[in-house]
Amino acid sequence: MQVTFCRLRTHQWCFILFNVILFHALLFGADFVEEYFLHALPYVDMKVLEIKEKARKLNMEPLRSNLSKYYILSQSELCKEKNIFLLSLIFSHPGNGTRRDLIRKTWGNVTSVQGHHILTLFALGMPILVTNQQDIDKESQKNNDIIQGIFLDSAGNQTLKIIMMTQWAVTFCPNALFILKVDEEMFVNVPSLVDYLLNLKEHLEDIYVGRVIHQDTPNRDPNSQEFVPFSEYPEKYYPDYCSGKAFIMSQDVARMMYVVFKEVPIMVPADAFVGICAKSIGLIPIHSSRFSGKRHIRYNRCCYKFIFTSLETTGVEMPLAWKEISGGKECTLFETYYGLISCKLLTYFDTLKRFHMGTIKNNGMYLSD
Ligand SMILES: *[C@@H]1O[C@H](CO)[C@@H](O)[C@H](O)[C@H]1NC(C)=O
Ligand SMILES: *[C@@H]1O[C@H](CO)[C@@H](O)[C@H](O)[C@H]1NC(C)=O
Ligand SMILES: *[C@@H]1O[C@H](CO)[C@@H](O)[C@H](O)[C@H]1NC(C)=O
Ligand SMILES: *[C@@H]1O[C@H](CO)[C@@H](O)[C@H](O)[C@H]1NC(C)=O
């Protein structure tokens, strides 16, 4: 082997090198281009300035004093006089107490990273069965980490849920620098996420970051549950938006969103709704391929130490991944490199497999998929 290797001619070496480069370009090229070159600055016009001004002057007092009109469980004191770096709002279904317990025991248990305070709360609506409310009350008394809005927690009310929870954040947690919206099916690597946010430190404003979805089209099938009529949203495409499975806003963005919520059609999918709001305040979503969107990333130790999120379906990998992140040994540069290649390839294969089984609805294109 050694001997044959040494005997390769220059053009053979060139060929090998070319293939290695091609392999990496195919695997990571799109991510790289998107993350480092496709950054556009937010645009600012008179309307945006006006919204910024309104957001600065938001008066949440009427809401505070009429609290019971909006929230059943409000945890209104949790943020008081604390400097919160990251507020994680985990969107959870009222009936999924077991899932919430698993999150509490794993990634939701992080309270500080590098000395920065993390607050993790569960965001719920009302259960369909009234009897479930008693369980939620009990769970809330025990853990003090549930916010519950007054609206039915149904698939059709997810946009309303985002509005209610953003409202909660700007009202009761105005000192949280960043707000993470994440679904309960996700695994989140909080330490690596915080590390990334700390590196944005020069500007803490105008942040709306996640896995960006390009040129998603509204569902125009009148028989579908997610039907979006032309009267509601006439454009061909949604603006670029961050996948709703997990994304981050800075506090100023949350406040501006809150100002424009009322001006945007509500009958679109919740994550597209946020994207439309972002566009109307001149924001361009920042892409990071370390967010998984709605894909499951196969477990690999060093890969999981690098990524921010993965869709978790079984509940088996989560304790494992958590153990590694909270205490496992560091990964060397080479191990991280190897981990990324292997989890990227495996994720490709998983996607292909699902594609062949025809379970992928082709809505929205990931540039880097
Ligand atoms: C409570 O809400 C009502 C409108 O629904 C508003 O007129 C009133 O000012 C609010 N209460 C307080 C004390 O701000
Ligand atoms: C949570 O509840 C919803 C609706 O009740 C269900 O579809 C979903 O599978 C549950 N998710 C988890 C992770 O338990
Ligand atoms: C959460 O973390 C704390 C230490 O920060 C630890 O004492 C506690 O046991 C953990 N809770 C769970 C449920 O793992
Ligand atoms: C959303 O919540 C409201 C208030 O609880 C309820 O009246 C409405 O039926 C819900 N909408 C859907 C689509 O479930």
Q: What is the pLDDT of residue 329?
A: 82
Q: What is the pLDDT of residue 182?
A: 97
Out of 130, 152, 162, give the residue to mutate to test ligand 4, the one with the largest number of ligand atoms within 8 Å of its CB. Answer: 152
Calpha distance 54→26 (Å, rounded):
45
Q: What single letter denotes the amino acid at residue 309? A: T
Out of 101, 109, 318, give the residue to mutate to test ligand 3, the one with the largest number of ligand atoms within 8 Å of its CB. Answer: 109
> For the chain, what is the radius of gyration of the CA atoms?
22
Q: What single letter denotes the amino acid at residue 99? A: R
Asked if pLDDT for residue 3 goes beyond 60, the answer is no
Query: Atom 11, ligand 3: which residue's CA is nearest?
Result: 105
Beta strand ranges found along the chain (DSSP E) = 71-73, 84-91, 112-113, 116-126, 146-152, 178-183, 186-188, 208-213, 241-250, 286-287, 309-311
Q: What is the pLDDT of residue 366?
A: 41
Q: What single letter denotes the amino acid at residue 24? A: H
Calpha distance 64→71 (Å, rounded):
10
Q: What is the pLDDT of residue 335?
A: 87
Q: Chain-wide mean pLDDT for the chain?
A: 87
Give the chain's count of helices (H) and strands (E): 13, 11
- Angle between helix axes 158-172 and 251-260 (nearest 10 degrees) is 130
Task: Kindly list the structural domains of the chain, giving each domain's residue range(s) and its CATH number in brackets, ordered by start.
Answer: 46-287 (3.90.550)
Asked if pLDDT for residue 290 goes beyond 60, the answer is yes
Ligand 2 centroid to Cα of residue 95, in Å, is 7
pTM of the predicted structure, to 2 decimals: 0.88
Per residue in 237-269, pLDDT tens? Answer: 999 999 999 999 999 999 999 999 988 888 899
Alpha carbon separation from 302 to 135, 165, 315, 342, 368 (Å, rounded)? 38, 33, 19, 10, 21
Contacts of 350 (CB under 8 A, 6+ apart): 295, 296, 298
Per residue in 68-118, pLDDT tens? Answer: 999 999 998 999 888 999 999 999 999 999 999 999 999 999 999 999 999
Per residue in 325-342, pLDDT tens? Answer: 887 788 888 888 888 888
Residue 199 — very low, low, confident or very high, per pLDDT cuts 50/70/90? Answer: confident
CB distance 100 to ligand 2 below 6 Å:
no
Torsion on CA atoms 128, 136, 106, 89, rounded to nearest 10: 70
Residue 90 has φ and ψ, to the nearest 5°, of: -95, 115
The structure tokens listed for 106 are 């794993």
Out of 93, 135, 296, 316, give the residue to mutate to test ligand 2, the one with the largest number of ligand atoms within 8 Å of its CB. Answer: 93
The structure tokens listed for 353 are 């497999």
Shortest-distance atom of ligand 4 to CA 154: 14
Give the residue, 250 or 324, on which the prediction is more confident: 250
Q: What is the pLDDT of residue 11?
A: 84
Ligand 3 centroid to Cα of residue 267, in Å, is 41
The per-residue DSSP string of 106-120 comes to TGGG--EETTEEEEE
CB atoms within 10 A of CB 16: 12
Calpha distance 137→24 (Å, rounded):
52
Asked if pLDDT for residue 66 goes beyond 60, the answer is yes
Q: What is the pLDDT of residue 46?
A: 85
